[in-house]
Amino acid sequence: MKYHFKIHKQRTGYWAESVELKGCLSQGKNLDELKENLKEALDLYLDEPEDSNVLFPLPKKNLHGKNIATIAVNPQIALTLLVRTERLRKKWTQRVTAKHLGIPLYSYQKLEDSKTANPEWKTLIKLRRVFPNLNLNWAT
């Protein structure tokens, strides 16, 4: 999953702002430092607590242009974001979602926490069954 940033040059270096995520921005003395800082800012921006109800927009596809940088999200953060997004779109609680998946609530809560999300293959299959629109390709 990659988000897009519009890069701006200034006298002392560079700064960039996300095209899709309002308020997600960073700066750097050079382009390499800027991209490192954008990666950190993006991951911090998207890494919501597991009980969050914030629904972030997904990145736009094939966005190209002058001064546009694409920054990859940490795969575990991307997974938790995608799972939470599908749950919120259905207007389900974590408890209801866990019941649909046939797993304990605490196990589901781990899926929405980037620090503990590490699903087994069988859990990924259950997620796809319960959330047919879940596109795990976004997580890579």
- The pLDDT assigned to 18 comes to 97
pTM: 0.88
Q: Are 46 and 9 members of one domain?
A: yes
- The pLDDT assigned to 54 comes to 85
**Host domain of residue 83:** 75-139
Per-run averaged pLDDT (10 residues), the chain, 140 residues: 96 96 96 97 89 86 86 94 94 96 95 92 94 81
Q: Are 60 and 120 members of one domain?
A: no
- The pLDDT assigned to 73 comes to 95
Q: Are 85 and 134 members of one domain?
A: yes
- The pLDDT assigned to 116 comes to 92
Phi, psi of 31 (to 5 degrees): -65, -35
- The pLDDT assigned to 139 comes to 58
Domain end position, chosen among 72, 94, 116: 72
